[in-house]
Amino acid sequence: MADINILIGGQAGQGIEFTADIISKIFIKMGYNVFNYRWYMSLIRGGHNYNIVTISKEKIYTYDNNDFDYIIAFDQNTINIHKDKLKETGSIFGNKSIIYNKKIDVDTYYYIKKYNINRKYENTIILTYFLRYLNIDKSIVEEIYKEKIKDPEELKIIDYIYNDFNNNSIKVDKNNYEKQFYLSGSEAIALGAIAAGLDLYIAYPMTPASTILSILASLKDKYNYVTYQPDNEIGVINIGLGASYGGAKVMIGSSGGGIDLMSEAISLSGMSEIPIVIAWGQRYGPSTGMATHTDQSDLLEALNIGHGEFPRIVISPGDAAEAFERTIEAFHLAYKYNVPAMILFDLFMGESKTNFKEIYSPNIEVSRYIDLDPPKEYKNYKITKEGYQLRAIPGFDSIVKAVSYEHDEFGIETEEPDIGQAMSEKRLNKMKIIEKEVNELEPYRIYGSGNKIIISWGSNKMPILESLKYLKGWKFLQISYLSPFPKEIKYMLEEANKIVDIEHNLTGQLAKLVKQEIGIDIEDKILKHTGDPFTAQEIVNNIKNL
């Protein structure tokens, strides 16, 4: 699977993610494919964090959790935890305080003393020493370092180590370089929102959705939108709905208990038909759970959150490239049909980074769907043949009423049974029209060939695609749209010799949805709830044991 597999470990605050990013970008520049997986504890300092950077000349879809060629250890604990997964021919890089028989000592004190380097750059010395050991072209190292490092004194470390290296080394081949995208799922969601015309992003930080807030806050001046962090999650969605009512394109983000607090306001979105996009980061639950570990236990909640019946879009992209594409679709559908649209992702997809040659934008109109010349007697909830209409916003001659109570077409509160029935049907009938459009957006995708089917959703796409390299006769059915559900997959599943459902939850929530929507009972399931994503080898072993 991997040509080179590297683990970088240490305590929170020691630059582990920084180091992994530099290594990943250098190898992409050398023509390799990379997958950078991040595992971290819910701590600002201390504890044990690590990244795994899996590198290959061939396309790879996930990380390899075994057989490390190299371990870069910023503390002793990294070796104590991971040494058993080091290859017989592997090496560990660390300073002289770290004890292990296969360790290549990086005499950081020598460089610090000789070149008067600030002690805080000790781990940059270790990283640069490792790159010099691999004989990575100095010009590539300089180019990538300059993207990430701004202090000229830290950049001088390249010269010090490349000119004063006192160890044996190996040579890593360079391949043909093609320009690549290198993205995490969270970065892709943020960029997709910008491409869709984002005006306002509101969030209260909760892992794994916090990263989106950080990314969008860093880009807001460049792309002319606003980010806002209120003091609680109830405020997040209510401010978002108010801004959307006023004409803004709004996305909000949260996770776990933060989403739970938004339940009433999501129902308000359904009744008032105020569109909003929700970046829903799943985390290991229930309750506080394990905040920085991956999970897929919120599917049924997303499909049912909010009291009463109302239409909603639920989309779950499988990797960063899809996250960009599906976020644009979420905005399009939410604002065209005036419904809440939820982008369901998890920490594995949100935090992992990989390279892509191409990222596609969906072939859809990016519009606000606002009537700029509404009639003075405007019916905000008009029952139309199409099932929806362009919305009006305040500031024109017409009065635009949005209300949480049941209402008539003008938005005036009512308790008349016939009107209540008509308006409820109006809202729910939109799903029939939405379903027709979603069918044009590839609500599911098929990978591989064979008469046996793996069915799954979300980030499981990545290890499943890697596992297909080793599974003959199997194909992968990826469900991206959970609402509306693509019922046409029924015929494919009926013709399959075998079906297995793979999910990171213990109740098989997608399998339950399949049973509910198309009446097919999936007996074989591979389920887990460890907080760690599936690996390709884990999937291969489980399928061979069915």
Instruction: Report percent pLDDT > 70 for the chain.
Output: 100
The one-letter code for the residue type at 226 is V
Q: How far apart are the C-alpha atoms of 459 and 467, rounded to whole Å? A: 14
* Average pLDDT value for residue range 234-243: 98
Token reading at 502: 């793979």
Q: Where are the beta strands (DSSP E) in 141-240?
A: 181-184, 200-203, 226-228
Q: What is the pLDDT of residues 432-456, one digit of tens each?
A: 999 999 999 999 999 999 999 999 9
| Whole-number pLDDT of residue 98 | 82
Q: Which CATH superfamily is domain 180-441 in?
A: Thiamin diphosphate (ThDP)-binding fold, Pyr/PP domains (3.40.50.970)
Q: Is the Cβ–Cβ distance between 504 and 295 less than 8 Å? A: yes
* Average pLDDT value for residue range 86-90: 91
- CATH 3.40.50.920 domain extents, the chain: 444-544
| Whole-number pLDDT of residue 466 | 97
| Whole-number pLDDT of residue 115 | 94
Q: How far apart are the C-alpha atoms of 512 and 518, rounded to whole Å? A: 10
Q: How confident is the model at residue 104 (pLDDT cuts 50, 70, 90)?
A: confident
* Average pLDDT value for residue range 160-167: 89
Q: How confident is the model at residue 204 (pLDDT cuts 50, 70, 90)?
A: very high
Q: How far apart are the C-alpha atoms of 198 and 41, rounded to whole Å? A: 31
- CATH 3.40.920.10 domain extents, the chain: 4-163
Q: Is the Cβ–Cβ distance between 32 and 60 less than 8 Å? A: no
Q: What is the pLDDT of residues 517-544, one digit of tens each?
A: 999 999 999 999 999 999 999 999 999 9
Residue 223 has pLDDT above 90, yes or no: yes
Q: What is the pLDDT of residues 109-160, one digit of tens each?
A: 999 999 999 999 999 999 999 999 999 999 999 999 999 999 999 999 999 9
Token reading at 242: 């108010």
| Whole-number pLDDT of residue 166 | 77
Token reading at 330: 């979420």
Phi, psi (degrees; rounded to nearest 5) at 53: -110, 110
- CATH 3.40.50.970 domain extents, the chain: 180-441
Higher pLDDT, 171 or 263: 263
Residue 469 has pLDDT above 70, yes or no: yes
Q: How far apart are the C-alpha atoms of 106 and 93, rounded to whole Å? A: 7
* Average pLDDT value for residue range 184-204: 98
Question: Which numeric CATH code is attached to 4-163?
Answer: 3.40.920.10
- Beta bridge mates, 251: 201, 277
Residues contacting residue 227 through CB under 8 Å, at least 6 positions apart: 200, 201, 202, 203, 213, 216, 217, 220
Token reading at 47: 């504890």
Q: Is the Cβ–Cβ distance between 503 and 428 less than 8 Å? A: no
| Whole-number pLDDT of residue 79 | 93
Residue 328 has pLDDT above 70, yes or no: yes
| Whole-number pLDDT of residue 451 | 96
Residue 324 has pLDDT above 80, yes or no: yes
| Whole-number pLDDT of residue 170 | 81
| Whole-number pLDDT of residue 482 | 99
Residue 75 has pLDDT above 70, yes or no: yes
What does the longest C-alpha to C-alpha distance in the chain come to? 86
* Average pLDDT value for residue range 487-492: 97
Residue 57 has pLDDT above 90, yes or no: yes
**Range of lowest pLDDT (51-65, 88-102, 150-164):** 88-102
| Whole-number pLDDT of residue 1 | 53
For the domain with range 444-544, which CATH number is right: 3.40.640.10, 3.30.450.80, 3.40.50.300, 3.40.50.920? Answer: 3.40.50.920
Q: What is the pLDDT of residues 29-52, one digit of tens each?
A: 999 999 999 999 888 889 999 999
Q: Is the Cβ–Cβ distance between 175 and 185 less than 8 Å? A: no
| Dihedral sign from CA coordinates of 329, 335, 337, 339 | positive
Q: In what order do the strands lie in the sheet with 250-255?
A: 226-228, 200-203, 250-255, 276-282, 340-346, 313-315, 481-483
Whether the model clears a pTM of 0.75, i.e. scores above it, the answer is: yes
Task: Indicate the angle between helix axes 122-133 and 108-115, nearest 10 degrees.
Answer: 110
Phi, psi (degrees; rounded to nearest 5) at 197: 95, 30
Q: Is the Cβ–Cβ distance between 271 and 221 less than 8 Å? A: no
Q: How far apart are the C-alpha atoms of 437 and 333, rounded to whole Å? A: 9
Q: What is the pLDDT of residues 289-299, one digit of tens each?
A: 999 999 999 99
Q: How far apart are the C-alpha atoms of 53 and 327, rounded to whole Å? A: 27
| Whole-number pLDDT of residue 173 | 82
CA distances from 276 to 36, 137, 343, 401, 484 (A): 32, 48, 11, 17, 17
